[in-house]
Amino acid sequence: MTLYQKLKASGNPQAVAQITISLLESHSVKETAKILGVTPRWVYKLRERFRLSNGDISACIKKRGPKFRMPNRTPEHIENLVVTLAKETNLGSKRLALFIKNTFNIQLSPFTIRNIRRRYGIHCRKHKTLTGSRRFATDFSAFEPLQLWQIDAKHIADQSALPPEAYASIFKNKLPPFQFTAIDIKTRLRFIAYADSLDFKNGLTFMLLVAAWLRAFGVKHQLFFQTDNGAEFGGSAGSRKRKLIQKLIFDHWNVSLLNIPERNKETNCFVERSHRTDDEEFYALNLKKVTSRTSFLKMAQNWILYFNYRRPHFGKNMNGMTPVEALKFYRCFYHPAIGSMPVVVLDQLSNYTSLLFDISSLPWDNLPRNKKLLNETMAHYIISRHSSLYISLSVLFCYNIVKKSPSQRLEGRGCKITRSR
At 138 the pLDDT is 60
- Top-confidence residue, 98 or 402: 98
* pLDDT classification of 349: cutoffs 50, 70, 90: confident
Phi, psi angle pair for 372, to nearest 5°: -80, 145
Residue 402 has pLDDT above 60, yes or no: no
Residue 213, pLDDT > 90, answer yes
Q: How many CB atoms lie within 10 A of CB 390?
A: 19
Confidence at residue 372, expressed as pLDDT on a 0 to 100 scale: 41
pLDDT computed for residue 364 by the predictor: 61
What is the spatial distance between Cα 374 and Cα 143, in angstroms, rounded to a whole number?
A: 39
